[in-house]
Amino acid sequence: MNYRLAGNQVKPESGPAIVIGISDIAVTTDPSACLVTYALGSCIAVAMNDPAARVGGLLHFLLPDSSLDTARGQSNPLMYADQGIPLLLEKVLQAGGKSVKRTHLEL
């Protein structure tokens, strides 16, 4: 798939753009979809992809460790890496990812 820059946004040449907000997650089995996040700044995005199963996901989190604020970690686990990354992996596997060994993780 090819992508183009339109203003300050990346747009896929074909297929839907799935926008992931802050403390948000998305997983898709649509090979034409483009997972996009904005406003990273000091935040981090983690992408997982199982190319054989054609499943991909993206997590946009703010902080590394939910023990910094346990109440907030319980109400919004996607805000923290220690809770969000396992949830991303779980969702990728639920969507058809077959093996943790085969799943590719990018930071």
Six-digit token pair at 36?
A: 């996009």
Q: What residue type is 25 in one-letter code?
A: I
Six-digit token pair at 72?
A: 């907030």
Of the candidates 83, 40, 42, 89, the one whose C-alpha atom is nearest the C-alpha of residue 60 is 40
Of the candidates 49, 25, 37, the one whose C-alpha atom is nearest the C-alpha of residue 97 is 49
Q: What residue type is 16 in one-letter code?
A: P
Active site residue 43: yes
Residue from 22, 43, 45, 95 carrying the catalytic annotation: 43
Point out the residues that are catalytic: 43
